Amino acid sequence: MRLVSGKYGGRIIKTASGPGYRPATSKVRQAVFSMLESRGIEWDGLRAADMFAGSGSLAIEALSRGGEFSFFIEKNGRAAALIKTNLKDLGVPTPEYKVLTADLFNVLSRPPEKPFDLIFIDPPYGYDLLPKALDSALENGWLADGGFVLAEVEAQVEPPHSVLIDELNLLSNKLYGQTRILLWQK
């Protein structure tokens, strides 16, 4: 997979394969980052969290565009190792990232050291994990005030509703083939 833009733009990263892995296509990643930039996101100094990280392509792209730090949470050990390999091969300095091999919901059960400006949530299809991930992240202070949450889900999934999610303003709900991209801001 080729990174779209920034200091690592044009470079190739390896992606995991197997059931449940579907790295964001370059078309979807371009749309995602255009969506964020059109809403005034500032990459300089940005802290991103990539939940259900998979290949980590979205948070790697955030680093490429000038993000300060990306936190990758991936349960599958092989996929997490591949993220580390990609970051090393790109020459990303180690203080700019952390890759954690763990169950996302165990991690979200406690607050982070510091909230994140951008959270990517790309849960495996067919498990309806977006509402629980969003609620857990909001309940435990993972999203900074003014921060963005970008979710990539199946096209048939509608934006979730809950008391906690009402803290977010839904900015975009777009379909790209079989993928729905949802963007909120706190």
Identity of the residue numbered 81: A
Say what the pLDDT of residue 165 is. 82
Say what the pLDDT of residue 19 is. 59
Q: With respect to residue 115, please indicate whether it lies within any of the assigned structural domains.
A: yes
Assign 143 to helix, strand or coil. strand
CB atoms within 10 A of CB 113: 5
Q: How many domains does the chain have?
A: 1
Q: With respect to residue 155, please indicate whether it lies within any of the assigned structural domains.
A: yes
Query: Residue length, the chain?
Result: 186
Which CATH number is 139's domain given? 3.40.50.150
pTM to 2 decimals?
0.94
Q: With respect to residue 7, please indicate whether it lies within any of the assigned structural domains.
A: no
Say what the pLDDT of residue 28 is. 82
Structural domain boundaries, residue 162: 26-185
Q: With respect to residue 152, please indicate whether it lies within any of the assigned structural domains.
A: yes
Q: With respect to residue 95, please indicate whether it lies within any of the assigned structural domains.
A: yes
State how far the alpha carbon of 153 is from the alpha carbons of 52, 60, 98, 182, in Å.
Answer: 12, 19, 24, 8
Assign 132 to helix, strand or coil. helix
Q: With respect to residue 12, please indicate whether it lies within any of the assigned structural domains.
A: no
Q: Which two tokens stand for residue 145?
A: 């005030």
Q: With respect to residue 39, please indicate whether it lies within any of the assigned structural domains.
A: yes
Average pLDDT per block of 10 residues along the chain, 186 residues long: 90 77 70 94 97 94 97 96 97 98 98 98 93 96 98 93 86 92 96
Give DSSP secondary structure letters for 149-179. EEEEEETTPPPP--TTGGGSEEEEEEEETTE
Q: Are 186 and 167 in contact (CB under 8 A)?
A: yes
Say what the pLDDT of residue 18 is. 62
Q: With respect to residue 1, please indicate whether it lies within any of the assigned structural domains.
A: no
Residues facing 49 on adjacent strands:
71, 119
Euclidean distance between CA atoms 147 and 75, whole angstroms: 24
Assign 71 to helix, strand or coil. strand
